Amino acid sequence: EPEVTQTPSHQVTQMGQEVILRCVPISNHLYFYWYRQILGQKVEFLVSFYNNEISEKSEIFDDQFSVERPDGSNFTLKIRSTKLEDSAMYFCASSEGLGAAETQYFGPGTRLLVL
Amino acid sequence: AQTVTQSQPEMSVQEAETVTLSCTYDTSESDYYLFWYKQPPSRQMILVIRQEAYKQQNATENRFSVNFQKAAKSFSLKISDSQLGDAAMYFCAYRRNSGYALNFGKGTSLLVTP
């Protein structure tokens, strides 16, 4: 069964450094998402991406965040200058479409620790 | 803004018994989708069941079923014949029909005891 994959599984970085989290969505999916889950808290939506542009973003997704689909398979989340409060599990998800066809399939997550 | 509330931080059920997890939501939309996701210790979130708001019939998936009360804005998950592998965090989520974002509740941790 096709799966969403994410690399790395764990990332440790220093405050102020840039990090890039990578995701490979399911191959025939057209919509891509990033969510984050701070330890002990609920999963929060960051951004959705379709047709090479952001389709929706939350208040969390400020100027320090960016997303990109650099090729036909990868979908990345970049955090330009990490802060301590960016420490969280970051989940990538993808869906085939919207409406009745839409189920968002989640990857296993990348645990980001900012020191 | 839509909010999703799961009022039970933890629940416990014995193997083979039935358990119901509660979820309520707040929305002014009439057309939306509701989901239950399971997050086992491996942390990968897995879709358990989905309900379209325009459908009156409650969704079922094998041992999992929902009680969708649109007027009450309630969407509870019933797990029948609970198994040890059902132990996980369960998240209720809402998505409006015209949107992309899943809005999650805080989750209910389900413990299954032998």
Sign of torsion, CA A17 A75 B99 B55?
negative
Q: How far apart are CA A79 and CA A46, in angstroms?
A: 12
> Could you identify the residue written with the tokens 């409060």?
A85
Q: How far apart are CA B37 and CA A29, in angstroms?
A: 19
Q: Do A103 and B99 touch (CB under 8 A)?
A: no
pLDDT by residue (tens digit) across A47-105? 999 999 999 999 999 999 999 998 878 999 999 999 999 999 999 999 987 665 578 99
pLDDT by residue (tens digit) across A5-33? 999 999 999 999 999 999 999 998 999 99
Q: Is A107 on the interface with B (CB under 8 A)?
A: yes
Q: Is B52 on the interface with A (CB under 8 A)?
A: yes
pLDDT at A82: 96
Nearest-CB residue to A43 (from B52, B100, B104): B104
The token pair at B64 is 């999992």
pLDDT by residue (tens digit) across B43-85? 788 999 999 998 888 999 999 999 999 999 999 999 999 999 9
Q: Do A106 and B33 touch (CB under 8 A)?
A: no
Q: Do B43 and A35 touch (CB under 8 A)?
A: no
Cβ contact B4:B75 at 8 Å: no
